Amino acid sequence: MNDSGTSFQNIEHIEAVAWHDMYKAAPVAYASENALNTTLIGDGACLSHGQLVVTELARVVGVSSSAYIDEAIQWMQENCPAGWSLQIPRVQENAAIRGLLEDLGYEAKGNGWAKFRHAPTTVEMPAIPHLYSRVAEQKDAAVFGQLVCTGFGFPASMGQWFSELVGRPNWSVLIAYWDDVPVGCGAIYSAAGYSWMGVDTTLPEFRGRGVQSHLIRARLQHGMALGSNEFTAETGQPDAGQEAQHRSFSNYVRAGFARAYVRLNYVKSTGA
């Protein structure tokens, strides 16, 4: 799984537009109460959550041109509390941008995120007793929201936001069941032949039973039926040599995904 810059702009762009649309889906009251905001800049997106300044919810993603970096930084400074991240792929094409950020007082924190790609022609779906999944319908929206909040440890109020993805154009939400009990979920955003897969979570008491692996494959099949031929997803990048011990990383690899590159998370240096 060697890092590669191949098609990194497309991989970044589909995730950026998916998250931008996800933020646009938030109910007006929730967005107002939580200072939720987003904008598109170049091929990327800026995401701000005023109450939860964590990398997933407060970041710049997909802005891979030096022409737009200053604009993205200015927007984030005006719309998001301190602590947000600039996500920049560690590929040769972005060497100048990474140097620019370091000159501006930003530094890469942690291992970054592993960005995966997959272009399947077929998908094997191993049978697991008691486990099945289906595409969520409007009546399942609240269940999906509850699963996301419980699985990720988010405040329950966020459920109303994620529930809005069920039935939204370009989105499909799958819910996994264990003996008819909802135990996990995952979303897929599809456009122009590409699909981004995210919002993967399993209830803590059902982890280690193959739920995430099942949902990965189920979404691949669903996306292919919609006409997608390129898929992307991401997980935290494990320490070197520890990839096999990282459950989500391993689940994606077993499903046929390959790491395309590592995306670094740049934050403002302390005192800079």
- In this structure, is residue 202 part of a structural domain? yes
Cα(10)–Cα(63) distance, integer angstroms = 11
Are the beta carbons of 263 and 89 closer than 8 angstroms?
A: yes
Same domain, residue pair 108 and 167: no
- At residue 271, the pLDDT reads 56
- At residue 113, the pLDDT reads 98
- In this structure, is residue 170 part of a structural domain? yes
- At residue 3, the pLDDT reads 43
Which residue ranges of the chain lie beneath pLDDT 70? 1-6, 271-272
- In this structure, is residue 126 part of a structural domain? no
- In this structure, is residue 196 part of a structural domain? yes
Q: How many domains, the chain?
A: 2
- At residue 5, the pLDDT reads 37
Are the beta carbons of 84 and 76 closer than 8 angstroms?
A: yes
- In this structure, is residue 240 part of a structural domain? no
- In this structure, is residue 233 part of a structural domain? no
At 153, which CATH number? 3.40.630.30
- In this structure, is residue 197 part of a structural domain? yes
Q: What is the residue range of 159's domain?
A: 131-228
Same domain, residue pair 147 and 56: no
Q: At 171, is the secondary structure helix, strand, or coil?
A: strand
- At residue 64, the pLDDT reads 79
Same domain, residue pair 108 and 146: no
Same domain, residue pair 144 and 107: no
- In this structure, is residue 119 part of a structural domain? no
Cα(177)–Cα(185) distance, integer angstroms = 9
